[in-house]
Amino acid sequence: MEFGSFKEMISVIRSEQQRRASLLNDQDPSAIDQWMYEDRPFVNELCLILLVALWHQVEREVVGLAARAWDDTAKISRQQYEGNREKVQDILRSEKKGWKAIGAKLELQSCDGYGPLKDVLRLLANSYKHDPSTRAVQKLLKNLSLDTTLKYASLPESDGVREGFATLIGLGKDADYCDIAEKFVDIANIFLVCVAEKNRTRLSQVIPNRVSFLPKDFLH
């Protein structure tokens, strides 16, 4: 599992954060407002959207591993693999306890990072998907050990939610979202390596299709 592209994106975001921060002038109220209400939320949201993308990548990887472990055979065809992927995706979409079922099959809970990834990044993605104001859903606040009776600003603006993310993964409360995103990438990588290793003897080898050089078969 390679997450280098995520690290590269974080590096780009961090550079933009530093560029904008360099324009901050503590003696200029308008510059302070620009940083507090425009620049900082903008950078925060870039990191949050990256975390949403990270969750979907983790989900795709888990689905792929489950598809390879589905038949308990040494080898499967590409067609079998794709069919198994559809079965796993249907379980995750249609069954209330779909993640629990797939988790039990792959022993996901025995690998470090399962909780933060499934119970936090998945809910972060749901917050962006379902709440037009991009505020954290109640379940997300609960899993971040935050007081659900308080009112929180939108995800890119809330210091409380940022601190919740930071402390959950062992960072200090002052950690910014670039630090948080980078730590989550490491957590995701370690988690998926663990899942693959635990299921190493059960993962079927996918027999590749023959490559066709006919123009109609090329990817366009």
Band of the pLDDT at 3, cuts 50, 70, 90? confident
Band of the pLDDT at 93, cuts 50, 70, 90? confident
Question: Is the predicted pLDDT of residue 197 greater than 90, yes or no?
Answer: yes
Average pLDDT over residues 144-169: 95
Band of the pLDDT at 89, cuts 50, 70, 90? very high
Q: Where are the domains of the chain?
A: 4-207
Tell me the sheet residues that pair with 205.
Answer: 75
Tokens of 119: 């119970």
**Which of 147-174 are b and which e, b meaning 16 or more Cβ less than 10 Å from the residue's Cβ?**
eeeeebebbbbbebbbbbbbebbebeee
Tell me the sheet residues that pair with 77.
Answer: 207
Q: What is the pLDDT of residues 135-147, one digit of tens each?
A: 888 999 999 999 9
Question: Is the predicted pLDDT of residue 17 greater than 70, yes or no?
Answer: yes
What percent of the chain shows pLDDT beyond 70? 95
Q: What is the pLDDT of residues 54-87, one digit of tens each?
A: 999 999 999 999 999 998 888 999 999 999 999 9
Other C-beta atoms within 10 Å of 85: how many? 17
